[in-house]
Structure 1
Amino acid sequence: MRHLTPALAAALLTLAAGSAAQAEEGMWTFDNFPIARANATLGTNIDQAWLDRVRLSSVKFGGCSAGIVSAEGLVMTNNHCVATCVANLSTQAVNYAETGFAPRSREDELKCPGGTAEILTDIADVTERMHAAGAGLEGQAFTRARDAEAGRIEQEACGGDAGRRCQVVSLYRGGQFKLYTYKKYSDVRLAWAPEDRAATFGGDLDNFSFPRFAIDAAFIRLYENDAPAATPTHFRWNADKPVEGTPVFVSGSPGATQRLLTQDQLFTVRDVVLPMDQLLASELRGRLIRFSEESEENAFIAMDPISGIENTYKRGRGRMAALIDSQFMATRAAGEADFRRRVAADAALTTRIGDPWGELGAVQPVLRELYPAMALLEGGTGVGTTPVGGGSQLFLWARTLVRGAQERAKPSAGRLPEYADSRLAAVQSGLFAERPVYPSLEQLRLEWWLSKTREWLTVDDPRLGVLLGEESPESRSARLVEATTLGDPTVRRALWEGGLAAIEASDDPLIRYLLTLQEPTRAVRSDWEARVEAPTARASEQLAAARFAAYGDSVYPDATGTLRLTYGRIEGTDVPGQRWGPFTTFDGLWARATGAAPFNVAPKLLAARGRIDGDTVMNMAVSSDTIGGSSGSPVVNEAGEILGANFDSTVLTQRNAYGYDVKVNRSVIVTTGAVTTALRDVYGMERLVEELGVR
């Protein structure tokens, strides 16, 4: 591992989007973690063996992160990361979100439908192969050749091994490609979850803020061959009271950052992507809230979707605040100007890379024009959050069945990348999972999507004839949901296994509907790949080459939903809008409670008040570099002991998508002390306390 040279210090400044690089900055890959720099900054003494233990103890769970905490497959994550599992296992009569899930024995732990968990076991460089695959190609031929090569690499490495998953990951926006190999667990069971109110105290008002008073923690267990998985490498549990200033490391799978985007690209995000996504999310949130107020059943059905859309909306609000902050954007602009000056000073480098900034700038008008149709009809833009089909599970199953049948009729290398042989196991896992389906919610989502698509594309768009025909969004969505049988997993399995013949012979209205949508939606995707994705990838690759030439490669790439390690200290902040110390306690919870929602304490937690030490720390703030997807990330000390799990950050921290600022960036952590208290004193989970080694 290289030491921090003046050139690398300058690189870090540039990659921080123009702000002075802070010691805590960086979502680092495990094969390029700056050990020496971290030790010098924190006064720690970690080494490669420590990194390996942390990597093998870290878990990717759906869109969240987690950490192994026992030798018998026990894993801690956030309660909001198991919310979908809890909802799928609940009924209105037995609602685990209200009561908590506290199984008396290991045999009572319940399988999360469709749940998978993964541990990163190996990282290999495949940059040369991926770059060669696209050499000399342009447009859609370029993207399809790259996708095909990634599929071949993944298939060569993992084949049909159901216990492993291989993924070619693009880093530095195409500057590097790495093959990540995961140990995969397809049997994940819920081992404990508190009452939802214990994890969400303060509701949306307290969300993305600090002080917080939330036990946003839960346990899952990894199973193999119907038995708890053997996990000898795991974090040791440390429930001691945390100490301000303690160095900590956060290991997780942050979703996506956009720190390496050019200013022109960021202007598109600011002016087109975020405004559209925020308007759409705001209306969907309003419709879901109205729906939830219509009955107790609807309130039960909509609880998890409302929580999800509120997170999406508030996250977008924080990011928009960053992009309209003139000082923040000026700092980023200064960083880009510095980078361009350094490249311009090297004549040979300038000749070799051309003008990637100009090429990316030329793509932006096209992206702005195509984004609404791509986001609404196809998804997969890489920059937005609008859900295709409104997020209707029935719609997404139908699309998977139709697309999957059509694509599997082709050779693997000629398919859309999500249906390559190397990725079919994951597709099938989601398709065959036994999940509850609520027709009223499905109809609401489809109606909203059809209505908004018509609004944004306008009624004169010829694709509206296929989407709606002569029907209204209300009538078409109701008809499709009422008559489909795709809520039955046996029907989905039969259609999948029957292949294209079964799909084309099906009279299911959603299947017929998705068949009619293929021509216009595939055309939207092809246009996007040729005119946006390919030239962006080409220019970004050249920009990465310039960055490596100017600064070397000991800098961190943008987050990509893959395992990263960041670090910092336990500390509060003292900036306008964020002036507080690093800790909250149970006594603070009692003081904040009013008895009225959302500041009403969960019943079981309130009933245990007399058994709880009020001085126990519930939540803490740390200066680590995290973002969405980091939820559930284990927070560990130099000794490899877990001190808590990341569950949130502050609104000001949402600018972290575009650049890190140690003054305002704070991750919010639920402590192991709070979790131990909840297990032992509230929910009677002594068997888990014993398994964690707490005396």
Structure 2
Amino acid sequence: MRLKLFAAASVIALISTPALAREEGMWTYDNFPIARVNQTYGSTIDQAWLNRVQLASIRLSTGCSASIVSAEGLVLTNNHCVEACVQNLSTADNQYALTGFLPATREEERRCQGMQAEILTGIEDVTDRVRAAGEGLEGRAFTQARDAMMGQIETEACADRPDMRCQVVSLYRGGQFKLYTYRKYEDVRLAFAPEEAAGSFGGDLDNFNFPRFGLDAAFLRLYENGQPMNTPGHLGWDAGPPEAGELVVVSGSPGSTQRLLTMSQLQTVRDIVLPLDQMTRSELRGRLLRFASESDENAFIASSTLSSIENSYKRGRGQGRALIDAEFMAGRAEDEADLRRRVGANLMLAERIGDPWGEIDALQDDYAELYPAYFFLESRAGGGSQLYAWARTLVRAARERERPASERLPEYGDSRLGLLRAQTLAENPTYPELNEIQLEWWLSKTREILTVDDPRIRPLLGNENPEGLAARLIAGTTLADAAARQALWDGGLAAVEASDDPLIQFVLATETLGREARAEWEERVEGPTDRAAERLAEARFAVYGDSIYPDATRTPRLTFGRVEGWTYDGRTVEPFTTFGGLFARATGAAPFEIAPRWQGARDRLDMDTRFNMAVSTDTIGGNSGSPAINADGEVIGANFDSTFLGQRNAFGYDPAVNRSVIVTAQAITAALRDVYGMGRLADELGVD
């Protein structure tokens, strides 16, 4: 039963804090504003409520979120969060993206290779230890010492605990460091996924749009020792219609926000980072669209990668629009000015922190100079090619495991090797044609942007051109074979160096280019920036305390809001869409074509069923699959998107337009029973 909670339209003013919109905030589980929520919404949330939600919320290794919704390990997430699993389980002759994955029995549920599910079990403050490790150091020495201590803490906490994962994360951009401990599940199986035509009805045209009509929902199941997990603490399921104005809490692991950046840093994002990101994405998108148009098989091969790139490209457009919005940026500037005024009024505080704003301003020229090489040679090396990524992981893992844990790159720390190994050795298909396009694109763009005269280009390309080199490496590699990858992983550095695989040899010869670009980046940009950011965090805590929330960091968070539409530029958008609206929007041509199963079920469906809804919760990428929970702790839907205007959420919450897009539990239940013949799952959810 759902409690109907309607809130007064008031904003809670917090003493000595910046003015927050009532729904603003991606709150950590150990600092959720219970009193503020209960006062605003008339709810009765308490610590027991939070504990139950925490232990039923999941972080997926795919970059998504999820929740446990039955006593037998059934997990709700988004269809787009299992897209790679669906494609890996498919063949060109049996494409589940076209038919849906509809196992008739539990025994037919199939494992998603390389996927891991994690449940947060504990949070511990380790700020003093991490801060002490970097005391008195600067530049890269500072980042290395801090990373080494974080790795040491992770190893200590998870030693001899193979079912756990430990991760030290920076919060408030260096203001706090917390050890997050997770219970991990490595056997995750697909239990249901709709066809792509239903899951992403409207395609890229409707992406980041509302009204929306997508069944972007899927079910996984957690297994242990070959049996479904016993999960008595699961969240309840409410298949009734959600109501406008009611409280919604979203629990998930949002990826990354940049709300605590200074104005000069935001200008660098606007002028340097986003333009390079968008230019390169658009070109790769064009190459993939051409490839996909050549045959049905090519369209199948490219579909998942193309969908991801289009999603990122459209998000980048929304973020860029925010950074040129004068009113929005004026608000950000006023936030910074408020903090600076408050610091300046406290002479002891001002003397202690110095001028971190000025120091960060001075670093932006180095950022602009070094970012392209760091982007192409390190952070985006390989251009998304799975074969290249496997090769680089095998080479770096072999080299890093030869070193003491304190001297490794942090992503190769002992506590992180288990998941890395599982993802590298997963028996998933890969497609040479797609890998060749990605590798060729990366090599050509690296040469173009860094220029032919850059001294790193000749070692990268040798005497070959990007097209010929990419074709040779992909044609000759054996890394598509999981057994070949396992032999190299298990054989360590000796096996890797002795390999005659051309892609392994290429990475052995060139991955140091990325290491060098990374080292210079850490020395001249990351280290000094993080040093200054620590003092900015100290200033924020001194002025505002912990009544503000940290930037998103892929750690579990809670956000709250209400079911509501919005008005913008003279247009009012209602908070719900319905099944009837789906059929009215259909044109009969892709991407607005009704899936055959839905056409066949039309007479069985209630056209007034509430399909998707808009909610004022504060979400971003990484919240995909997050459960939307009512005041009773019941799931009423799954978050799957936000609006185009809401992409400014990376830099700040705007209550006028920030809306999460959620597929309702009511719609999911009706689809299971009346469209897909998956009544056994509806029964498991406890639906009458």
The equivalent residue for 1:108 is 108
CA contact (8 A) 1:160 1:422 kept: no
Paired AA for residue 458 in structure 1: T
Distance 2:655 2:549 in 1: 17
**Partner SS state of residue 82, structure 1:** helix
**Residue 323 of structure 1: aligned partner:** 323
Cα 1:7–1:623 change in 2 (3 A) is: closer
Show the counterpart of 1:83: 83
Q: CA deviation at 1:233?
A: 1.0
Residues 8 and 555 of structure 1 are in contact (CA less than 8 Å); yes or no, is this contact kept in structure 2? no
The answer to whether 1:514 aligns with 2:507 is yes
* Alpha carbons of structure 1 residues 577 and 315: separation in structure 2 relative to 1, 3 Å: farther
2:668 maps to amino acid: V
- Cα distance in 1 between the residues matched to 2:387 and 2:455: 25
Runs of 4+ in 1 over 2 A off after TM superposition: 4-13
The structural deviation recorded for 1:602 is 1.0
Q: What is the CA deviation profile of residues 3-52 of structure 1, one whole-angstrom value per residue up to 9, with x for unaligned ones?
A: x9999454233xxxxxxx21100000000000000111111110011011
The alignment status of 1:12 with 2:18, answered yes or no, reads: yes
1:674 corresponds to which of 642, 667, 676: 667
Distance 1:7 1:233 in 2: 35
Aligned AA (1:363)? L
Shift in alpha-carbon separation, 1:163–1:286, aligned structure 2, 3 A: same
Identity %: 64
CA distance in 1, matches of 2:452, 2:357: 36
Q: Report the alpha carbon displacement of residue 303 of structure 1 after superposing the two structures with TM.
A: 0.8
Measure the CA separation in 1 of the matches of 2:662 and 2:11: 33
Provide the rounded CA distance (Å) in 1 between the counterparts of 2:17 and 2:183: 34
| Deviation sequence 1:96-151 (CA, Å, 0-9, x none) | 00000010000000000111111001001000101001001111111111111011
Letter of the structure 2 residue corresponding to residue 533 of structure 1: E
Report if aligned partners of 2:11, 2:21 keep a CA contact under 8 Å in 1. no
The answer (yes or no) to whether the contact 1:64–1:632 under 8 Å persists in 2 is yes
Q: Does 1:34 align with 2:33?
A: yes
Structure 1 length normalisation: TM-score? 0.96
Opposite residue 18 of structure 2, the aligned amino acid is L
Give the 3-state SS of the residue equivalent to 2:382 in structure 1: helix
Choose from 416, 419, 433 the match for 1:423.
416
Paired position in structure 1 for 2:285: 285
Aligned to 1:124: 124
Matched residue type, 1:135: E
1:598-637 deviation line (CA, Å, top 9, x unaligned): 1101111111111111110110000000011111010001
Q: Aligned with 1:661: secondary structure?
A: coil
Cα distance change, pair 618–122 in 1 and its aligned pair in 2 (3 A): same
> What SS does structure 1 have at the residue aligned with 2:182?
strand
2:201 equivalent in structure 1: 201
CA displacement at 1:521 relative to structure 2: 1.6
How many angstroms apart in 2 are the aligned matches of 1:105 and 1:286?
Answer: 41
Alpha carbons of structure 1 residues 578 and 632: separation in structure 2 relative to 1, 3 Å: farther
The alignment partner of 1:337 has SS state of helix
Q: Equivalent residue for 2:653? A: 660
| Aligned residue number for residue 18 of structure 1 | none
Is the Cα contact below 8 Å between 1:585 and 1:616 reproduced in 2? yes
Q: Say which SS state the counterpart of residue 677 (structure 1) adopts.
A: helix
Instruction: Pick closer, same or farther for the CA change 1:568–1:649 going to 2, 3 Å.
Output: same
Asked if 2 retains the 8 angstrom alpha-carbon contact of 1:644 and 1:671, the reply is: yes
Measured against aligned partners, the alpha-carbon deviations of 1:203-238 in whole angstroms (never above 9, x if no partner) come to: 111110100011000000011111101111111010
- Look up the match of 1:383: none
| TM-score computed with the length of structure 2 as normaliser | 0.97
CA distance in structure 2 between the aligned counterparts of 1:692 and 1:64, rounded to whole angstroms:
21
Q: Could you tell me which residue of structure 2 aligns to residue 54 of structure 1?
A: 53
Q: For residues 189 and 269 of structure 1, do their structure 2 counterparts lie closer, same or farther at Cα, with a shift above 3 Å needed? A: same
Match for 1:581 among 574, 579, 603?
574
In structure 2, what residue type is equivalent to 1:323? L
Whole-Å separation in 2 of the counterparts to 1:501 and 1:92: 38
Q: CA RMSD in A?
A: 1.2
Q: 1:317 to 1:304 in 2, by over 3 A?
A: same
C-alpha offsets along residues 440-498 of structure 1, whole Å, 9 cap, x if unaligned? 00000000100111111001011111111121111000000000001111111111111
Q: How does 1:624-635 map to 2 (within 5 A)?
A: 624-635=617-628
Question: 2:474 aligned with 1:468, yes or no?
Answer: no
1:225 corresponds in structure 2 to 225
Q: 2:305 aligns to what SS in structure 1?
A: helix
Task: Provide the C-alpha distance between the structure 2 equivalents of 1:388 and 1:617, rounded to a whole number of angstroms.
Answer: 44
Corresponding residue for residue 3 of structure 2: none
How far is 1:160 from its partner?
A: 3.8
- Residue 161 (structure 1) shift: 2.1
> C-alpha separation between the residues in 1 aligned to 2:444 and 2:570?
38
Name the SS for the 1:388 alignment partner: coil
Quote the residue 2:7 is aligned against. none
The 1:274–1:327 alpha-carbon spacing in structure 2 relative to 1, beyond 3 Å, is same
Q: Secondary structure at the match of 2:383?
A: helix
- 1:169–1:180: 8 Å Cα contact kept in structure 2? yes
- Specify the code of the residue in structure 2 equivalent to 1:456: I
Q: 1:489 to 1:577 in 2, by over 3 A?
A: farther
Q: Compared with structure 1, are the counterparts of its residues 144 and 166 closer, same or farther at alpha carbon in structure 2 (3 Å cutoff)?
A: same
| Runs of 5+ consecutive residues of structure 2 not aligned to the other structure | 1-9
Q: How far is 1:388 from its partner? A: 2.3
Offset from partner CA, 1:51-72 (integer Å, 9 cap, x none) = 1111111111120011110011
Q: How many residues align?
A: 678
> Matches of 2:219 and 2:21 in 1, distance apart?
34
Q: Cα deviations across residues 568-591 of structure 1 (Å, max 9, x unaligned)?
A: 000111112752111000111111
Look up the equivalent residue of 2:481 and give its one-letter code: D
Give the whole-Å Cα distance in 1 for the aligned partners of 2:425 and 2:655.
44
Native 8 Å contact 2:140 2:522 kept in 1: yes
Match status 1:568 vs 2:597: no
Distance in structure 2 (CA, Å) of the matches to 1:413 and 1:337: 40
Query: Given that residues 248 and 635 in structure 1 are in contact (C-alpha distance below 8 angstroms), is that contact kept between their aligned partners in structure 2?
Result: yes
| Aligned-partner SS, 2:286 | helix
Three-state SS of the structure 2 residue aligned to 1:567 is strand
Distance (whole Å) between structure 1 residues aligned to residue 687 and residue 181 of structure 2: 33
Matched residue, 1:180? 180
Matching residue of 1:368:
368
Distance 1:6 1:640 in 2: 24
Matched AA of 2:331? T
The answer to whether the 8 A contact 1:405-1:499 is kept is: yes
- Asked if structure 2 preserves the Cα contact closer than 8 Å seen for 1:7 and 1:551, the reply is no
- Counterpart-to-counterpart distance in 2, 1:6 and 1:33: 15
The one-letter code matched in structure 2 to 1:277 is: D
Which residue is 1:651 aligned to?
A: 644
The 1:611–1:437 alpha-carbon spacing in structure 2 relative to 1, beyond 3 Å, is same
Q: Which residue of 1 aligns with 2:523?
A: 530
Q: Distance in 2 between matches of 1:218 and 1:6?
A: 37
1:50 counterpart letter in structure 2: W
- Cα distance change of structure 1 residues 292 and 70 upon mapping to structure 2, 3 Å threshold: same
CA contact (8 A) 2:623 2:640 kept: yes
Secondary structure at the counterpart of residue 119 of structure 1: strand
Structure 2 counterpart of 1:454: 447
8 Å CA contact 2:11, 2:22 repeated in 1: no
Structure 1 gap segments, 5+ residues each: 14-20, 380-386
Residues 1:22 and 2:21 are matched in the alignment: yes
For residues 329 and 340 of structure 1, the distance between their equivalents in structure 2, rounded to whole angstroms, comes to 17
Deviations 1:326-347 (A, max 9, x none): 1111111111111101001111
